[in-house]
Amino acid sequence: MNPKDHWEKVYSKVPADKMGWYEPHLRLSLNWIQGLGLVKDAPIIDVGGGSSTLVDDLLDAGFSAITVLDISEKALMSAQARLGARSKGVTWLYGDIATIELPRERYELWHDRAMFHFLLAEEQQEKYLQQLERGLTPNGHLIIGAFAPEAPPQCSGLSVRRYDTVDIESTLGPTFELKRCRKDLHVTPGGVEQMYLYCHFMKVG
């Protein structure tokens, strides 16, 4: 099953608030984002954002140039339904990160808590990095949350790659300067513990 079909099937079967990744509020991401000192109209993209509530909280915080990208149309529709009229103030991108055409040097913040650890093949990672380098402004910020070594080897029926700080820094390469990392334990709605590694990078140049 290709990734699109997999995620459409998952979102068809499981309510958003029962997904393994679900949190009512992504407090660590929000705290880090608010600490960056971005202006409220700074372009932000949430990659693999799906039906995550991050967009709700960013709107509540006053950010006005938010893009949510996901491969699942059902996930995006779920988020749009939840937001109601407010969804019209968000840019919704439906597509595969490997092939979608993103604007060059558009985003001042690239957030990803859902996608990177599912990219197992080197080719997938390279395409992701090409999009990241293309889409992020010079000196733009990357906040990424990936499964840590202590986390389970699978999520939502798919295998994941688990990262420590050295692994994620070497995978992203010299274009991205590491600012900080910390681990954060997430407990799924079903009670499964998933240790995440959160890192903040800045694009060099």
Which overall architecture, per CATH, does domain 3-15+26-203 show?
Answer: 3-Layer(aba) Sandwich (3.40)
Write down the pTM of the prediction: 0.95
At 172 the pLDDT is 96
Which band of pLDDT confidence, cut at 50, 70 and 90, is reported for residue 11?
confident
In whole numbers, what is the pLDDT of the chain averaged over residues? 94
Q: In this structure, how many other beta carbons lie within 10 angstroms of the beta carbon of residue 92?
A: 18
Nearest to 186 by CA among 19, 16, 12: 19
Q: Are 171 and 123 in contact (CB under 8 A)?
A: no
pLDDT at 150 over 90: yes
The Cα-based distances of 166 to 169, 176, 178, 181 in angstroms read 5, 13, 10, 10
For the chain, domain boundaries: 3-15+26-203
